[in-house]
Amino acid sequence: MTHSVPAPAQGELDTSAPVELTLLVRRSRPLPAGLVEGPDTISQRELVIGYGASPEDLAHVCDTVREYGFEVADIDAAARRVAVSAPASQVARVFGGRAAHASVVDAFTEQPGTYRAWEGGTVLPPELEGVVVSVIGLDTRPRLRPEFRTFPGQQRLLYTPPELGALYRFPAGTDGSGQTLAIVVTGGGFRAEDMDAYFTGLGLPVPAIRTVSVGGAQNEPGGPGDLEVVLDVQVAGALAPGADLVVYFAPNSDQGAIDALRAAIHATPTPTAISLSWGAPEAHSSDQVLRAMDDLFAEAAALGVTVCAAIGNEGSSDGVYDGGSHVNFPASSPHVLACGGTTLVGSPDTGTIESETVWNTGADGATGGGVSRFFGLPEWQASVGVPARVGSDTPGRGVPDVAANADPATGYQILFNGQTGFIGGTSAATPLWAALVCRLAQGLGRPLGLLAPLLYEGPTGPDRVTEGFRDVVAGNNGAYASSPGWDPNTGLGAPDGTALLESLRRRLGSSPAGPA
SS3 at position 218: coil
Cα–Cα dist 22/74, whole Å: 9
Catalytic residue among 427, 467, 471, 496: 427
Amino acid at 140: T
Backbone angles phi, psi at 161, to 5 degrees: -55, -40
CA distance 152 to 7: 28
Identify the active-site residue in 147, 194, 228, 471.
228
Strand 278-281, strand 145-146: pairing: antiparallel
E strand segments, 201-304: 209-213, 244-249, 273-276, 278-281
Helical (H) or strand (E) element with 393: none
Cα separation, 389 vs 425, in Å, equals 25
Between the CA of residue 387 and those of 22, 370, 451, 493, 494, what are the distances in Å?
A: 36, 8, 22, 17, 21
In sequence order, the β-bridge partners of residue 145 are: 279
Residue from 106, 226, 232, 259 carrying the catalytic annotation: 232
Across 150-168, b (16+ Cβ under 10 Å) vs e yields ebeeebebebbbbbbbbbb
| Contact call for residues 30 and 53 (beta carbons, < 8 A) | no
- Bridge-based pairing state of the strands 209-213 and 337-347: unpaired
Distances from the Cα of 385 to the Cαs of 19, 94, 371, 398, 487, in angstroms? 45, 44, 11, 9, 8
Beta strands at 18-25 and 278-281: parallel, antiparallel or unpaired:
unpaired
The alpha carbon of residue 476 and the mean position of all alpha carbons in its chain are separated, in whole angstroms, by 23
Amino acid residing at 132:
V
For residue 466, the 8-state DSSP code is: B
Contacts of 488 (CB under 8 A, 6+ apart): 316, 369, 370, 371, 386, 387, 398, 399, 400, 477, 480
| Catalytic residue flag (residue 232) | yes
DSSP 447: -
* Pairwise CA distance, residues 133 & 330, whole Å: 18
Asked if residue 250 lies in contact with residue 217, where contact means CB atoms within 8 angstroms, the answer is yes
Radius of gyration of the chain (CA): 22
Contact 360, 174 (CB under 8 A): no
Q: Rounded to an integer, what distance in angstroms lies between the CA atom of residue 210 and that of residue 188?
A: 15
Which residues are the active-site residues?
228, 232, 427
